[in-house]
Amino acid sequence: MNVVTNLPQISSSSVFPDKSPEGVSHAITILSTALTPFRDGPSSRAVSRQHQDGDKLRYVKDFDRFSTLITTGDSANKAANVVNAVTGHIVQQGVQAAIVSRNTKAPHDVALAAKEPFSFVEVTPSDPVAANHLLTTWETPRQSSFAQYVQDVVTIVGFLAQLSRTKGIPSQTLNTAVEFFAGFVHMRAVYKLRARVANGSRCWGEPPVTIIVDEVKRLLGDAQYHPTKSTIELSAAEAKFITAEGIEPSPNSTTFVLDDVRLPSWLSLLEKTYGIIDSETSAASDPKTLPSALSAHVKNIITVMPTFEILVKHLVPAIASDSVARRLRTSYEDKRIEVSAKVDKKISGALATSAHALSCA
């Protein structure tokens, strides 16, 4: 989710005077470009101005703008084919405007195709009591409608916005609320996450992470490994996740060395975190999994997800040599040819059956 502060107000009646699909598409493109530098807080540009502003760093912690993708996947729609983009402006009275862009090309939802691809709606968050209830009961499986899910998300975001600007609130209280929000979102998104993980294995024949790790290990064994980068520079927050796994940086820094001695530990961590995400999303999506057990799998996913994201962001680009890229391309092309051959065989069989039936008529 992107959360942005101090942008001009949005009015659902005036921000997009041209409400044609083309006009809205153009406006959303502009908004997306404006939101790109922001993610879950102030932009890096604002932080970089600290040397100019001295002690008066010119950004606020208030959340007053948000954009997110909301999936409507659930146990009955595990591929989560319907994805919705939502953006809105939080004001004191609630959310002034929410622009909802619907995926109208979902192959398994014929009724959705008849709906407008976007809409402008006023969404007023429920009170803090309702928000607190949603957060503290995030482990309860919900299969609410998309409209209700938007309402719930807006309620929680509005609550977090108020909490962040309330003086005297301990930072741990806000951190706990954010962790609960992560649980709330993952409980709904776990089916979409599983669909993404499974799709990677379908496209490459095996998990792309496995291909990358196996190729780097092969190159290390043959003394032919040449990394794209020899070090990784992490933020202090990112470094805590990595050091917790037993990988240490250079003395008095957050710089981690990638050499033949240390790299195997990084590869093992990449395999481990991906393996947990793979197995836990699989278990969560299993029809035999009881609803009461779903939150345990989600907790395990949330625990490793920050570390996995750090590895994907920093480690994978550093080890993605030409040889690794070639291996990925070859595996993808081999799988594509295999699938195409199976499809052609089925089509040929169907045509032969039809021809035989016609000849016997």
Per-residue pLDDT of 11-57, as tens digits, reads: 444 445 566 666 666 666 665 555 555 444 433 433 333 333 333 22
Are 277 and 128 in a shared domain? no
Q: pLDDT at position 165, please?
A: 78
Residue 70 vs residue 105, higher pLDDT:
70
Confidence of residue 116 (pLDDT cuts 50, 70, 90): low
Are 165 and 214 in a shared domain? no
Contact between 260 and 254 under an 8 Å Cβ cutoff? The reply is no
Token pair of 92, please? Answer: 């004191």
Residue 196 belongs to a domain = no
Are 49 and 166 in a shared domain? yes
Q: pLDDT at position 271, please?
A: 96
Contacts of residue 91, defined as CB under 8 A and 6 or more positions apart, other chains included, come to 9, 64
Q: Which domain holds residue 113?
A: 2-189
For the whole model, what pTM was predicted? 0.71
How much of the chain exceeds pLDDT 70, in percent?
A: 62
Contacts of residue 265, defined as CB under 8 A and 6 or more positions apart, other chains included, come to 246, 247
Taking the C-alpha atoms of residue 79 and residue 9, their distance in angstroms, rounded to an integer, is: 36
Q: pLDDT at position 45, please?
A: 38
With b for 16 or more beta-carbon neighbours within 10 A and e for fewer, the 41-68 pattern comes to: bbbeebeeeeeeeeeeeebeeebbbbbb
Pick from 286, 303, 320: which residue ends a domain? 320
121 strand-pairing partners: 98
Taking the C-alpha atoms of residue 336 and residue 328, their distance in angstroms, rounded to an integer, is: 12
- pLDDT, one tens digit per residue, over 52-88 is 333 322 333 445 666 666 665 555 665 566 666 666 6
Taking the C-alpha atoms of residue 49 and residue 5, their distance in angstroms, rounded to an integer, is: 16
Are 119 and 20 in a shared domain? yes
Q: Residue 259's CB: how many other CB atoms inside 10 A? A: 10
Confidence of residue 187 (pLDDT cuts 50, 70, 90): confident
Are 38 and 176 in a shared domain? yes
Are 249 and 311 in a shared domain? yes
Are 92 and 210 in a shared domain? no
Taking the C-alpha atoms of residue 76 and residue 81, their distance in angstroms, rounded to an integer, is: 11
For range 119-136, the mean pLDDT: 82
Are 79 and 20 in a shared domain? yes
Residue 329 belongs to a domain = no
Are 216 and 149 in a shared domain? no
Pick from 139, 161, 189: which residue ends a domain? 189
Long-range contacts of range 43-47, CB-CB < 8 Å, 24 or more positions apart?
none
3-class SS of residue 17: coil
Q: pLDDT at position 242, please?
A: 95
Taking the C-alpha atoms of residue 71 and residue 83, their distance in angstroms, rounded to an integer, is: 5
Residue 337 belongs to a domain = no
Q: pLDDT at position 164, please?
A: 81
Count of domains in the chain? 2
